Amino acid sequence: MVRRSRLNTANNSKRRLCFVLLLLLCLTITVSVVVKYKEWLSSVATIWQETFPVESQVENLFRGTIYDRNFKELAYSLERVSLFVRPREVKDVAETASILSKLLALPESELLAKMGSDSHLVWLRRDIGQEEEDAVEELNLSGIYLDREVARYYPMQEYASHLIGYSENDQGLAGVEHYYNRLLNHERVLQRDIPTIDLKGQEQTSVNGHDLVLTLDMKIQAILENYIAGLGEEMGGGRISALLLNTAGGEIIAGVNFPSYNLNSVWQNEKGVLVNLFLTPMLVPDEIRKFFRDVALLQGGWEQETQVYPWSLVGSQMSFSRQLRLWDRLHLTTNLQVDFSGDKKKSHDLQEFSSCFPALDLGTVPKTAAPLKVLLGMTHLLNGGKKIQPHILYKIMERPDRREFFYDAFHGQSSGKKVFPSLISTESRRLLKSQGQPGVLGSMSLSGDTVSLVRAGSDVSVSYYVRDQMALVVIPADKPELILLLASRSKELTPGVASLSLSENIDSILPSMVALQQIRQNVVSLLEVEEGEERNFTVAKRSRQFTEKSLEGMLDKQIVLMPDLKGLSLRKSLRLLQRAGLSIRVKGTGRVVSQSPKAGKAVAKGEKCVITLKMDSVQEKAL
């Protein structure tokens, strides 16, 4: 029995050894297969990338271009090109490093170290420029490859950043980019998804992709950006915002948040910089709250069929319930849906506050409100009682035939809705004149500030003072067409901040902005999209300097800006110049190749203008 047991034990040991050897053999074969498979996939990917370049992929993207109202590009998709090396494939490391060192302006020692790595792939530089990309392709160096991916590019960089927003991996994360994910990321637009767009009786658009045209005007935006930046430097800290609104239709023409951020490098900024101040609840100054209180009394007088004028307002004539209904109608206390913000989180910076000024009896007027709500409430009071919705979308263009679908706030509803009778607006304007400060072009401003002690919870040691300032500029006061909102918040009380006035120098920029607004109204039917040049993500910074001095006094002198005629036909050029009343001389035939005066220059009626035309290759072949 003992001998048989030993024999069984020996046999079991042999079986276990055979099993282990078989398992090791299987693992070895599996690892070899996986390695070979990865190498095959890598080679296939390289061949695929070389055979099917990224241009074919870009054409299939549905995230279109975003323009301002003058068809200036605000956002579009580009190739983000990076350079990498496969060290094992480099034939001459020293020569390759020497060539790339001069081309990329990188130390040769750094390139030699990367090419001598044992890694399968090593990045040499991310986001190379167009010239560098073309040079690398022409050199065709062994082991050196270009990696292409699609990225969103914002040529205006920090201008209107809080309105335009940004995207990552083809998904909008803020502003217009976020709100219209459902539009830009799909093949078609459904009427139920975008109810404010009139699809002309259709339930959906065709499968062609779409571009957006916004209500923003980058020339007016530049003027407002410069003004707010100056206020920011004077303040020395804190945040400032500004919004310019068309009172008739609710179009946002320009919007600024200071400090701003570069949309091409969003993640390099602190989280607080990304917050929209005009959507953040703030303390409303007593001067503005008093105006709303007096309007409420005025409204109550009209509802009682008794004409109550601003100079005879009596607090006891207005009930609290009637005031509360009024704030709802003005949208001071109701939720406001806008098409330029995707942030669903409500920002409440003021947890608890104690006013540092003597309290006034202002009835039920809200003590805090988002600046945009204050702007909308003032607009409803002064625009003849017309109900509007603040928006940034102007129209959607369907590619490639450029069919247009326009914004229509009352699409599918009865238009002409009103918040107040026209008589209330007339008396509200009279009230504004009695309480505001007059300015240029018949404008009237109403401003104020408030200082409060903020207690963040029960810990007194973390309390701080905050100064909120707000100003509303109505242009003109008799028949408002534009309303400019200015708002600021500072958490530190310094002598410099205390003396800051948001609207003190506003008269210096109002003529420029109003002039550009009037020019836009006259040439809107002549604007069309211009083809952009082919380029990758890293491009040279565009000049964003706009002439302002030439616009000063423009309305009084009847001076207009010389349009850019380059590339246009003679017929369209003459249409653009018709309004200016210039003495025009034409040289040659075809399309405009040069002009005098230059584009953007202020010209007076009767001034000489010379445009030179030349046939392009397409026109010559046609003849």
Among candidate residues 415, 480, 421, 470, the one with its CA nearest the CA of residue 448: 470
**Band of the pLDDT at 12, cuts 50, 70, 90?**
low
Asked whether residue 193 carries a pLDDT value surpassing 60, the answer given is: yes
The first and second tokens of residue 68, run together, are 């301002």
Q: Quick check: 472 and 454 in contact, CB under 8 A?
A: no
The residue that leads in pLDDT, 22 or 248, is 248
According to the model, what pLDDT value does residue 567 have?
82
**Band of the pLDDT at 550, cuts 50, 70, 90?**
very low
**3-class DSSP state for residue 573?**
helix
According to the model, what pLDDT value does residue 616 have?
66
DSSP for 419-448 reads: SS-HHHHHHHHHHHHHHSEE-GGG-EEEEE
Q: Quick check: 398 and 208 in contact, CB under 8 A?
A: yes
**Band of the pLDDT at 478, cuts 50, 70, 90?**
confident
**Band of the pLDDT at 188, cuts 50, 70, 90?**
low
* CB within 8 Å of 571: residues ≥ 6 apart: none
H or E element: which one contains 20? helix 2-51
- Phi, psi (5° rounding) for residue 398? -90, 125
Among candidate residues 534, 524, 616, 511, the one with its CA nearest the CA of residue 563: 524
According to the model, what pLDDT value does residue 240 have?
92
According to the model, what pLDDT value does residue 371 have?
92
CA 226 to mean position of chain CA atoms: 17
- Phi, psi (5° rounding) for residue 458? -90, -10
According to the model, what pLDDT value does residue 316 have?
47
Decide which of 3.40.50.1980, 3.40.50.1100, 3.40.710.10, 3.40.50.1000 is the CATH code for 218-521: 3.40.710.10
**Cα angle, residue 21 at apex, residues 15 and 25 outer, rounded to 5°:** 140
The first and second tokens of residue 511, run together, are 């003529």
User: Is 501 exposed, middle or buried, given 0-12, 13-18 or 19+ CB atoms closer than 10 A?
Assistant: middle
Beta bridge partners of 488: 240, 469
The first and second tokens of residue 13, run together, are 């040991």
According to the model, what pLDDT value does residue 254 have?
95
Among candidate residues 222, 190, 174, 242, the one with its CA nearest the CA of residue 70: 222
H or E element: which one contains 211? strand 210-214
CATH code for the structural domain at 558-622? 3.30.10.20
H or E element: which one contains 395? strand 393-398
Q: Where are the alpha helices (DSSP H) in 200-257?
A: 218-235
Condensed to tens digits (0 to 9), the pLDDT of residues 49-69 reads 444 443 334 344 457 889 999
DSSP letter, residue 517: H
Query: Cα–Cα distance between 190 and 546 in angstroms, integer?
Result: 39
Query: Cα–Cα distance between 393 and 407 in angstroms, integer?
Result: 7
Q: Residues, the chain, total?
A: 623
What fold is seen in the domain 63-153? Penicillin-binding protein 2a (Domain 2) (3.90.1310)
Q: Domain map of the chain by residue range?
A: 2-51, 63-153, 218-521, 558-622
Query: Cα–Cα distance between 54 and 192 in angstroms, integer?
Result: 34
Condensed to tens digits (0 to 9), the pLDDT of residues 399-455 reads 777 788 888 876 555 445 677 666 677 888 888 888 989 988 889 999 988 887 776
Asked whether residue 372 carries a pLDDT value surpassing 90, the answer given is: yes
According to the model, what pLDDT value does residue 221 have?
94
- Over pLDDT 70: what percentage of the chain? 71
Query: Cα–Cα distance between 561 and 208 in angstroms, integer?
Result: 36
Query: Cα–Cα distance between 407 and 394 in angstroms, integer?
Result: 5
Asked whether residue 387 carries a pLDDT value surpassing 70, the answer given is: yes
Query: Cα–Cα distance between 143 and 116 in angstroms, integer?
Result: 12
Condensed to tens digits (0 to 9), the pLDDT of residues 265-295 reads 887 777 778 888 888 888 889 899 889 888 8
The first and second tokens of residue 134, run together, are 């073309």
According to the model, what pLDDT value does residue 1 have?
47
**Band of the pLDDT at 251, cuts 50, 70, 90?**
very high
